[in-house]
Structure 1
Amino acid sequence: MNLKETLEMLNKVATDNKELIKNEESTKQFLILPLLRGLGYDTYSPQEVTPEFTADFHKKNEKVDYAIFINREPKIFLEAKPVTSKITKNAPQLSRYFSTFPSVRLGILTNGIEYHFFTDLNNANIMDSKPFFVFNITNYNEEDFSYLIKFSKNLYDYESIKNLAESMMYSQAFKSVIKEIFENPNDDFIKFVIKERFKFKVTQQFINTARPLVQKCIQESLAEIISEKFDINQAMQEAAPEVEEVSQVDKKVYYSMEELESLGSFEEFGGVKVVLPNSESYKKLLKIPKEEYSVERGNPLSDFFVSSVLTQGNTIVGYLIGQYYNQQTDITLYTVKSNEIANFLKENPIVRETGFINARLGFRTNKITNEKTYYLKSCLSNLSFRDIPNLVSKVENIDEFFNSIQ
């Protein structure tokens, strides 16, 4: 069951069982744990989702409802409330848990319906007083869903979460300022509007006189912008229905865990996990006709594939490139550092000609020397290497890893 299906199921459970799900324990069992499973976390493994996780505060012994571990470290703390509780205030209890573990940078306060997401934008390891994102399983749109999926196990990356939190925080702040100005423009804004078009000295008396006129002009301007935009969009739709029909591409926004896990089997190589792809699975996910197979889009018929992406922290530092031979009965693995991918392509021109099963080639051009540096990206739309289970392998020392397998 993918995340979309999980949310649909939970919406039905919450709607049909209002009288039965009342206390905190039933909220956890029927609403919270299923969502964590929908996000890819193994709620049956205490090494991944630990209930009643102990956090010591001086002489107190307090427990967070759930600690979620990624790579054997607690990364997310979740505090649960009964579904009947309204989440209207901040979360001091969750904040205390948060500050105890430096590895935890995300806190979730939920009653099973609303999920309030907190991080530490203002001060490191001190949880912000307000959530940067609120998700409601009974009332959400596609944009909300696109944010929620970023918290799934295979996509979780704190830097991405931090960027999302900053973006949302700034957006909320900017919108509130703009809304205040539009509803009740202050003296500085009125003075700015006047001086943009007129050169005379602006007095306080003139600002007070102009205030109702500026408010009226703001409302009329917004109405004109909306009207013009609507007319333009409507005209474009009426003028180009055939073009839209021809160019429309059915893009998939997300992939189910079943689809991702069907991509291949996993084995150990030089201390890291590698994927040995099933090319038929990639063909099904690509959904492109044979005549359109190319280096740019990825070639499922190629003998070459990316078997593992090696990372240090959040940086990709190398690849394991696989090659089938003997009618795909045997496999050779090549080790390639990220900054040497161009040399690898020169030494193996057939790779550039036939492409990869699960990768496409990209390049950056040095503006001074015009030299191209190649890198690899997933050929599946809206899916990165980091999304595919076990494909990403963390390497502590990249040089030591490459030297150890030569």
Structure 2
Amino acid sequence: MEFGERIVALATKVENQSEAIATEEATKNAFVMPFISTVLGYDVFDPLEVVPEFTADVGTKKGEKVDYAIMRDGEVQILIECKPSRGALRIEHASQLFRYFAVTNARLAVLTNGVVWQFFTDLDAPNRMDDKPFLVLDLLDVDETLIPEIQKLSKSSFDLDSIINAAEELKYVGAIKREIAAQFREPTDEWVKFFTSRVYDGSFTQRVREQFTGLVAKATGQFLTESVNDRLKTALGAGVRVDDDASDPVTSEPITNADLSRDTEIETTLEEIEAYQIVKAIACSIVKPQRVTQRDSKSYFAVLLDDNNRKPIARLHFNTKQKYVGLLDSEKVETRHPIATIDEIYAHADEIRAAVERYA
């Protein structure tokens, strides 16, 4: 299994099990140890590689422990502090990491709740852990651009110099991306005023602020959707393909010229792509990610195995007010399940996996 596939597999596990994990110990067993062993490739049962409950007395602080220390050549390389998966991470949780970072040879420290992984180093001052992470991995929303950097932490590809050299750029690029994402979700007054001043000549009064807050949010959302669609069309060869499954038991009417004409107007939406990624993440517990593909049509968005329209995994019916996820049985008879949000697709994970297993 490739490195990126191992992250996807763990991300799927986190998505499926996070609600059942209530304690810090459960978080370690279910998410943290698999990340160290399955993703990074270290033997969690070999004390020469991974030391649990690592102790290094610091001044008057005696007997304090960091949850894990990853070792190489007898030296501490990475310190890991864990918190329960249901709680949000705060810098206050890293007090022991700060102290241990100063008295060990570690250049990397990790604060995690098993879902979000924050990676720290000492960019601001030598041998003093920074207050802000240089890299943040969220297993519920994996940024694929970070995967090559995380791979540098793995046992087989460990490259400390490369990690440290890239840390400053990663820190600020990541922080800017998160700030942009926050503005897209809920624009601040400064963000609204910035764009309003470039398109509106009047004074920025309270009434104008209220009017343009909604307009800026709408415009940025549409811009993001259009950008995704343009990239899909480029990357996927126009981004749309007509599903030509003649054996489809649900749409048995013959295809007409009018149908073909309508299909030239297909627009793949951001919501369809997000739903496709959810189905793909579920399917990747059975098969490699590259085997799960998509085809959009006027009537529905199809998720397929091996780009074969005779191997449908799911169909997304998102073109009406009520959204449905269509699942097919062994006879390829489709049952449509209404959903209010795309997250509800996870409730049908077992059926999706069953469909993949039938073909795989």
Normalised to the residue count of structure 1, the TM-score between the two structures is: 0.44
Higher share of residues assigned strand:
1
